[in-house]
Amino acid sequence: MSRLPQLLGGLGSGLVRLGERLEARKASAEAQPAAGRPTPGAAPEPVTTPITTPAPTSVAASVSAMPSGPSAPEPASAPGSGAGSVPPSVPADRAAPGARPDPVAAVPWGVRVAAEVGWRLLVLAGTLWVLMRVISAVRLVVLAFVAGLLITALLQPVVVLLKRRGVPRGLATALTFLSGFVIMGLVGWFVVWQVTENLDDLSKQVQHGITELKRWLLNSPFHVTQSQINNIADKLSEAIGTSTKDITSAGIEGVQVIIEVLTGILLAMFSTLFLLYDGPRIWQWLLKLVPEAAREGVAGAGPRAWATLTAYVRGTVIVALIDAIFIGIGLYFLKVPMYVPLAVFIFLFAFIPLVGAVVSGALAVVVALVTRDVFTAAMVLAVVLAVQQIEGHVLQPFILGRAVRVHPLAVVLAVAAGSMTAGIGGAVVAVPLVAVTNTVVGYLRAYAKDESPPKVSS
């Protein structure tokens, strides 16, 4: 009886350790991932625990010899049922023996490249079409702003020169703006005044020239008869009468055209004023709208584009002025009437590359033909061709240089596209736009290749 309390104490201690072991197994089973858990509803596996009945004399020893919970060895998990089990990898080509091949792999590489390029070109074409529609809707505003940009490129060197001489920025901008537009206004007024003053004399000389032309045709070796000349004169009179009726009917719409022209001039003036005064800050604000990844490249391309535009406008003005002076001198010595207005027209039409020179030269030849004679017209044609050849082969390469060199085919296509899109204004803007685009693309290509493009002086 004296050993009974010791026996009961050892039995209680063994039961406590057995309960702790069962709790530890239950916790580890709950912590296993869902893949390793048994299916809900399935009968749990029976746990067999060997029970040994100790002899009465060795109960305490047998209970004390039982292994405790934490140090008890865990049973090995069956393959595929534990958390660490990894399913065997199956090759992709053997996963489904009857599966069809990938359709993308069946398309030839060239077709895939063409498709990729094609849909990107479609996106670009759609974007360009929408942009052109927007520009056509606000064509007056766009042309006025571009005209202000070109005038700013012409006048900005004067502002820079005045600022270097110590003139304040606002005063330099005001002086340049006022003097520039006053000079352009005086040139326009002078042309209108010359045409108005010489209109009566010009009409008399035109009638005399037509009479002389008839006489020359009758005595020419072309065997032109009087009846043919009368027939041509009647058709011309009929065409002029029809055109007069059209002009009269369109005179009602002339008020709207005048209002649009005045609005465009005012917009161009305001654009020029603000671009001269606040151009750098406007450019910095525009740079903030560019994504940060492309901001550095755009910031480097902007000054080069502006330098190209400035060089183009300045060079075009110098070349047009030389053309007008030399052709005007030739018209003066050949005694062609209205040689001053014709020289001004030659200067203005020089801003339209290729086409402007042809139109202004043809106008001078026609005036010489109807007011003087065939020999004078031929001499005027020779003068115009000589000056234009000197311009194309000497003046433009020397004055404009490589900064704005554009291939003649690109010039012709740009002028044609610009005239079809926005008339005369589009033809004037087309070539500087192509020149600026060429400069920007060249710089960005060099920037993308981590090359150092040549420095361009502003």
Alpha carbons 296 and 281: distance in angstroms, whole number: 17
Q: What is the mean pLDDT of residues 435-441?
A: 86
Residue 84's H or E segment, with its range, is: none
What is the structure's pLDDT at 68?
A: 45
Choose between 47 and 373: higher pLDDT.
373
Residues listed for the chain: 458
pLDDT digits (tens, 9 = 90+) for 376-420: 888 999 988 888 888 777 777 777 666 566 777 777 788 888 878
Provide, rounded to the nearest whole percent, the portion of the chain with pLDDT above 90: 3
Q: What is the pLDDT of residue 118?
A: 93
Please, where are the H alpha helices in 65-138? 92-95, 103-106, 109-137
Residue 18 contacts residue 25 (beta carbons within 8 Å): no
Average confidence score pLDDT of the chain: 74
Cα–Cα dist 113/125, whole Å: 18
More confident residue, 239 or 34: 239
Of residues 328 and 79, the one with the higher pLDDT is 328
DSSP 208: H
- pLDDT band for 50, please (50, 70, 90 cuts): very low
Percent of the chain having pLDDT more than 70?
68
* 329: Cβ contacts below 8 Å, ≥ 6 apart: none
pLDDT at residue 126, rounded to an integer: 93
Q: pLDDT category, 130, cuts 50, 70, 90?
A: very high
> Given a cut of 80, is residue 22 above it in pLDDT?
no
* Three-state secondary structure of 168-201: CHHHHHHHHHHHHHHHHHHHHHHHHHHHHHCHHH
Q: Which of 439, 351, 430, 356 has the alpha carbon at shortest distance from 135? A: 430
Least confident of 134-138, 192-196, 232-236: 232-236
pLDDT digit string (tens) for 226-269?
Answer: 777 777 766 766 665 555 555 455 455 556 777 888 888 889 88
- Which alpha helices (DSSP H) does 220-291 contain, by range? 226-250, 254-288
**What's the pLDDT score for residue 123?**
94
Query: What is the DSSP code string of 379-434?
Result: HHHHHHHHHHHHIIIIIHHHHTTTTT---HHHHHHHHHHHHHHHHHHHHHHHHHHH
pLDDT > 60? residue 61:
no
Shortest CA distance to 279 belongs to which of 392, 399, 153?
A: 153
Structure-token match 């008020």, residue found: 255
User: In the predicted model, what is the mean pLDDT of residues 90-99?
Assistant: 51
pLDDT band at 120 (very low <50, low <70, confident <90, very high): very high
Contacts of residue 363, defined as CB under 8 A and 6 or more positions apart, other chains included, come to 342, 345
C-alpha–C-alpha distance, residues 51 and 14, integer Å = 13
Q: Give the pLDDT of residue 253.
A: 59
